[in-house]
């Protein structure tokens, strides 16, 4: 495997790493904001459009499908014309799409503009990963990735709370006007603060035939498939609950025997995302001290314990109560945050000259699964807390099995002196 090109020396001094983490974290946030801020508004939007819960769930599925399809373009486009241009263009389109959502008068129009939001929302997360790997390597990259994950993790916690506050003094279109304002702030910050981290001499021309060939080569790489599947199914266990949040919070959860309302989404999201933020903090602190392989093992171990507690609690009671029903989900989020940076950096390190493409394809794999969960699995399971617990357990088990498969192949390859079997970041030799 070719050595990665050196990070551009001029990019890092222009913007401090702390400020870069804040900016990239903010750019990654506007995707989750697009999903989670509207959760409290589902009943009001459904009443205005004459749509039931299943129809409203499609506002998530349409968004994620568009997000997944366009995620295949963001990375290679940034490899060809630079990271900064792609991020600025995506933010501009997202702003216009949010205006369209705010002005929608029927469900079909809303779905069309939700799709346009999805087409543009991936630039922050996907291209941002490539930016991190452009400027840093090894443990430093893991630390910055963890810092961005901490900031990114705040979004799903505060987004539904913000949505609930907005509904307290205005109608649901105000939520989309909030997204317009948020994206304009990011657009200005990116324009003023983000340097170009992918210099012209390192860029690759976008040739559709070659792009398809490269994508097939990456996708058909067995190691990429194992790592992407491990990351995707591991996160999908949490996303099942996020996609099911309107039903889980409003229909299933109770606090002191009473049902939760539209302003109570924080009871679910704050501890859940708190677990993810804490896990990202621990991952950053552990960089260079604990091997990547051990950190992933600890992460999956936390998720396994969380699933056992989740199944046990829901088999004990038919009426899940706050906070006990949410604590296992929070522990699972903690474990996911330990696993994610290690697996993502391992994928990016496989393709040092095609980091954008590798990041895009990893995101596409995850988003397709998440779209299926939002559109099919969540409506099927969200009527029962026990069904959700079983579904999440299956997804965690699938992620762990793919990771064990990857470890077995890598260990066997190194035992036989296969230098093409790369180690995970931070792995001890």
Helix (H) or strand (E) holding 259: strand 258-259
What pLDDT does residue 7 have?
Answer: 43
CATH number for the domain spanning 138: value is 1.20.1250.20
- Express each pLDDT in 348-385 by its tens digit: 888 877 777 787 788 888 878 887 888 789 989 988 99
- In this prediction, residue 424 has a pLDDT band, given cuts at 50, 70 and 90, of low
Res. 23: pLDDT tops 50? yes
Res. 427: pLDDT tops 60? no
- Express each pLDDT in 155-184 by its tens digit: 766 787 888 889 888 899 999 999 999 999
For 22-53, b/e burial (b = at least 16 CB within 10 A) is bbbbbbbbbbbbbbbbbbbbbbebbebbebee
The residue range of the domain holding 249 is 15-415
Mean per-residue pLDDT, 329-338? 94
Q: Does the residue 8 lie in any domain?
A: no
Question: How many domains is the chain built from?
Answer: 1
Q: Does the residue 180 lie in any domain?
A: yes
Q: Does the residue 2 lie in any domain?
A: no
Q: Does the residue 386 lie in any domain?
A: yes
Given a contact cutoff of 8 angstroms between Cβ atoms, the answer to whether 54 and 379 are in contact is: yes
Averaged pLDDT of the chain: 83
Q: What is the C-alpha to C-alpha distance for residues 299 and 194, in angstroms, rounded to an integer? A: 32
- Express each pLDDT in 202-257 by its tens digit: 777 766 777 778 778 888 899 999 999 999 999 999 989 988 888 898 889 998 87
Mean per-residue pLDDT, 270-279? 87
What pLDDT does residue 54 have?
Answer: 74
What pLDDT does residue 284 have?
Answer: 82
Res. 389: pLDDT tops 90? yes
Q: Does the residue 240 lie in any domain?
A: yes
Mean per-residue pLDDT, 185-204? 83
What pLDDT does residue 356 have?
Answer: 72
- Express each pLDDT in 33-88 by its tens digit: 888 788 888 888 988 998 887 788 788 888 888 888 887 888 778 878 888 899 99
Rg (CA), the chain: 21
More confident residue, 421 or 290: 290
- In this prediction, residue 415 has a pLDDT band, given cuts at 50, 70 and 90, of low
Q: What is the C-alpha to C-alpha distance for residues 296 and 313, in angstroms, rounded to an integer? A: 26
Res. 420: pLDDT tops 50? no
Given a contact cutoff of 8 angstroms between Cβ atoms, the answer to whether 43 and 262 are in contact is: yes
- In this prediction, residue 404 has a pLDDT band, given cuts at 50, 70 and 90, of very high
Q: Does the residue 126 lie in any domain?
A: yes
First to last CA, the chain: 18
pLDDT above 70: percentage of residues in the chain: 90
Q: What is the C-alpha to C-alpha distance for residues 391 and 399, in angstroms, rounded to an integer? A: 13
Q: Does the residue 82 lie in any domain?
A: yes
What pLDDT does residue 169 have?
Answer: 86
CA distances (Å), 207 to each of 2, 58, 90, 131, 204, in order?
A: 22, 34, 21, 22, 9
Grouping H, G, I as helix, E, B as strand and the rest as coil, residue 228 is helix
Mean per-residue pLDDT, 133-146? 74
Q: Does the residue 276 lie in any domain?
A: yes
Grouping H, G, I as helix, E, B as strand and the rest as coil, residue 38 is coil
């Amino acid at each position: 495997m070719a050595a990665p090109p050196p990070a551009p020396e001029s990019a890092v001094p222009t913007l401090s790493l702390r400020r870069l983490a804040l900016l990239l974290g903010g750019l990654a946030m506007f995707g989750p904001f697009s999903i989670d801020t509207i959760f409290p508004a589902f009943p009001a939007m459904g009443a205005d459009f004459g749509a039931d819960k299943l129809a409203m769930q499609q506002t998530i599925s349409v968004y994620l499908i568009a997000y997944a399809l366009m995620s295949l373009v963001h990375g290679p486009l940034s490899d060809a014309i630079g990271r900064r241009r792609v991020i600025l263009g995506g933010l501009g389109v997202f702003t216009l799409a949010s205006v369209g959502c705010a002005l929608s008068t029927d469900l079909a129009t809303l779905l069309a503009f939700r799709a346009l939001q999805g087409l543009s929302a991936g630039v922050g997360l996907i291209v941002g990963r490539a930016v991190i790997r452009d400027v840093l390597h090894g443990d430093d990259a893991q630390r910055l990735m963890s810092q961005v994950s901490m900031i990114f993790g705040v979004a799903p916690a505060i987004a539904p709370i913000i949505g609930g506050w907005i509904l307290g003094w205005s109608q649901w279109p105000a939520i989309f006007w909030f997204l317009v304002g948020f994206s304009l702030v990011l657009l200005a910050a990116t324009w003023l603060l983000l340097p170009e981290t992918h210099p012209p001499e390192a860029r690759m021309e976008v040739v559709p035939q070659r792009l398809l060939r490269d994508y097939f080569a990456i996708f058909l790489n067995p190691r990429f498939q194992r790592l992407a599947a491990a990351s995707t199914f591991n996160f999908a266990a949490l996303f099942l609950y996020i996609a099911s949040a309107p039903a889980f919070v409003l229909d299933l959860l109770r606090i002191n025997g009473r049902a939760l309302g539209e302003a109570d989404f924080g009871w679910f999201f704050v501890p859940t995302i708190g677990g993810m933020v804490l896990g990202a903090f621990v991952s950053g602190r552990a960089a260079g001290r604990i091997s990547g392989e051990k950190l992933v093992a600890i992460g999956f171990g936390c998720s396994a314990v969380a699933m056992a507690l989740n199944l046990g609690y829901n088999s004990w009671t038919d009426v899940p109560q706050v906070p006990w029903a949410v604590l296992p989900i929070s522990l699972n989020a903690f474990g996911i945050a330990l696993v994610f940076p290690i697996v993502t950096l391992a994928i990016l390190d496989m393709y040092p000259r095609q980091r954008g493409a590798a990041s895009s394809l990893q995101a596409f794999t995850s988003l397709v699964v998440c779209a299926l969960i939002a559109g099919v699995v969540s409506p099927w399971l969200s009527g029962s807390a026990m069904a959700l617990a079983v579904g999440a357990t299956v997804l965690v088990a699938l992620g762990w099995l793919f990771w064990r498969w990857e470890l077995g192949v890598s260990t066997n390859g190194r035992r036989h002196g296969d230098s093409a079997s790369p180690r995970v970041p931070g792995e001890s030799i």
